Structure 1
Amino acid sequence: MQLVQEQKGDGLTFRVHALTHVIRYSASSSGELDETRQMDGRFTVEAQLHGSGVLIEPGAFQYSHGNIQAKVEQQAKGGFLSRAIATAGTGESAFATRFTGQGKVWTEPTRKHFIIAESSGAKGDDMILDDKAFYMAQDTMQLGTHTHNSIAGALSGNGLRQPKLSGKGIFVVESPVPVSEVEVIELSGSDSLIVDGDLMLMYSASLNVELRPLVRGLRNALRSGEGLVFMISGQGTVFLTPTHSNLSAASL
């Protein structure tokens, strides 16, 4: 395996590994047999626990080693019906598996890419995720649901509801592109970000997202060839996947 990304938190460490396979054997100058390996397109996530715990999406667990305890925890609050309504349309389950103790937890190999990020837990630092993006989080964080109250959210390609992570800790999300192709943009509050298309992997809940024409006036819009774009303002962070081909807002 080849280490792709690593991040340490309070009581645990997350690592993303790329699986490899041997493509050639060769003899070294000392007479030993050397291996030449290359990545085969699959990835796995390792959570090393030393006093903390981790929440993993259902079905992702492969094996653990050490003094590890596991139990299923409810993420969405309320009764069965309210949980079902809250998580409907987010692509996420109302439950997650919580692992605690000392040792390592490994997830199933997959061809999906992963991004490790961190939240300070400060007010306004909640992260709104793309549908089905949640994969793993420190158990000091909570997975909830963000309900959009504007047409921008409803037409973003994610529907009226999206997963939301709150609290302090490190977490892992699934990404359509490798971590090297993810662009992280910090908005200070005095600038803005214009995005054509559903390229937002996740963004701070404190940000304002509007869906509007790039230029004013029907004639100017026809001349520019652009339609509706996402205008993002406020103070916070946006994770973009510009190399990912997806539905353009101009086609809405």
Structure 2
Amino acid sequence: MQLVQEHVGSGLTLRVHALTRVTRFSRTPDGELGETREMDGRFTVEAELNGSGVLLEPGAFQYSVGQIEANVQQQQQGGFLRRAMATAGSGESAFATRFTGQGKVWTEPSRKHFVIAEMSGDPSDAMLLDDRAFYLAQDTMQLGTHTHSSISGILSGNGLRQPKLSGRGVFAVESPVPVSEIEVIELEGRQTLTVDGDLALMYSASLNVELRPLVRGMRNAMRTGEGFVYVFSGKGTVYLTPTHRTISGASL
């Protein structure tokens, strides 16, 4: 494996490893057998716990080493029916697997890429995630559901609801493109951001979002060939994956 990203937090260190395979064997000048490796397109996340805990998306666990305890934790407060209704359409499970103790937790290999980041706990740090983007987070954080109040939200690819991550700690989300291809756009409240297609990996919960045709009028929309676009306004950050529709050969 090859380490491609690391983030050290308080009680939790996250590392992203690229899985490799041997492509060639050779002899070194001193007669030792050497090998040439290359990444095979799969990645895994290592969570090193030092008295902290981590919430993991159900089904992502591979193995753990050390004094690790696991239990199921609901991601939202309230009864089961309320949680099931809240998470319906958000692409996320109503539960997460919580690991605590001292040791390491490894996740299943995935062909998606991972983005590791940290939140300070300030309410302005809260992020809305694309469907199924959540992967893991420190157990000091909360994964809930944001309900769009606008009528436009009903028409969006994410439905009325989106996963919302808040609190203080380190977290990781799945991305369809490498970190190097993610474009980070800061909005200061004086401009708007218009995005063609569902290319927003995550964005600040403080932003206003609207889904509407790029041009007004059904006839004009048909003439342009453009469908609905997302329009972001206010103050906050948007993480875009503009190369999502193309095959990328870049690595983290």
TM surpasses 0.5: yes
The residue aligned with 1:23 is 23
Q: Hey, what's the Cα distance between the residues in 2 that align with 1:148 and 1:65?
A: 41
The residue aligned with 2:88 is 88
The residue aligned with 1:142 is 142
Kindly, what percent of the aligned residue pairs are identical?
A: 76
Letter in 2 for 1:69: E
Contact 1:11 1:50 in 2 (8 A): yes
Q: Give the 5 Å matches for 1:23-102.
A: 23-102=23-102
Q: Give the 5 Å matches for 1:226-245.
A: 226-245=226-245
Q: Hey, what's the Cα distance between the residues in 2 that align with 1:67 and 1:85?
A: 36
Q: Hey, what's the Cα distance between the residues in 1 that align with 2:157 and 2:216?
A: 23
Letter in 1 for 2:160: L
Q: Deviations over 1:82-124 (max 9, x none)?
A: 1111111112111111111111110111222211122222123
Structure 2 counterpart SS, 1:39: strand
Indicate whether 1:112 and 2:125 are aligned.
no
Q: How far does residue 223 in structure 1 lie from its aligned partner after superposition?
A: 6.4
Q: Hey, what's the Cα distance between the residues in 2 that align with 1:115 and 1:214?
A: 30
Letter in 2 for 1:4: V
Q: Hey, what's the Cα distance between the residues in 1 that align with 2:223 and 2:146?
A: 36
- Range with greater deviation from structure 2 (28-37 or 116-125): 116-125
The alignment of Structure 1 onto Structure 2 pairs a total of residues equal to: 246
Q: Hey, what's the Cα distance between the residues in 1 that align with 2:99 and 2:106?
A: 11
Q: Deviations over 1:184-222 (max 9, x none)?
A: 212122232111111001111100112234345678756
Q: Hey, what's the Cα distance between the residues in 2 that align with 1:97 and 1:188?
A: 37
Contact 2:133 2:173 in 1 (8 A): yes
Structure 1 counterpart SS, 2:184: strand
Q: Give the 5 Å matches for 1:211-230.
A: 211-215=211-215, 225-230=225-230
Contact 1:145 1:164 in 2 (8 A): yes
Q: How far does residue 154 in structure 1 lie from its aligned partner after superposition?
A: 2.4
Letter in 2 for 1:11: G
| Structure 2 spans left out of the alignment, 5+ residues | 247-252
Q: Deviations over 1:30-77 (max 9, x none)?
A: 211111001111111000111211000111111111121211111121
Q: Hey, what's the Cα distance between the residues in 2 that align with 1:7 and 1:158?
A: 29
Letter in 1 for 2:191: D
Q: How far does residue 245 in structure 1 lie from its aligned partner after superposition?
A: 2.2
Relative to structure 1, is the Cα distance of residues 78 and 22 closer, same or farther in structure 2, using a 3 angstrom cutoff?
A: same
Q: Hey, what's the Cα distance between the residues in 2 that align with 1:128 and 1:18?
A: 27
Contact 1:151 1:211 in 2 (8 A): no
The residue aligned with 1:185 is 185
Q: Hey, what's the Cα distance between the residues in 1 that align with 2:215 and 2:98?
A: 48
The residue aligned with 1:250 is none
Contact 1:76 1:87 in 2 (8 A): no
| Structure 1 spans left out of the alignment, 5+ residues | 247-252
Relative to structure 1, is the Cα distance of residues 73 and 219 closer, same or farther in structure 2, using a 3 angstrom cutoff?
A: closer
Q: Hey, what's the Cα distance between the residues in 2 that align with 1:164 and 1:39?
A: 32
In the TM superposition, structure 1's runs of 4+ consecutive aligned residues that sit over 3 Å from their partners are 212-228
The residue aligned with 2:202 is 202
Structure 2 counterpart SS, 1:124: helix
Relative to structure 1, is the Cα distance of residues 228 and 59 closer, same or farther in structure 2, using a 3 angstrom cutoff?
A: closer
Q: Hey, what's the Cα distance between the residues in 1 that align with 2:22 and 2:54?
A: 32
The residue aligned with 1:174 is 174
Structure 1 counterpart SS, 2:131: coil
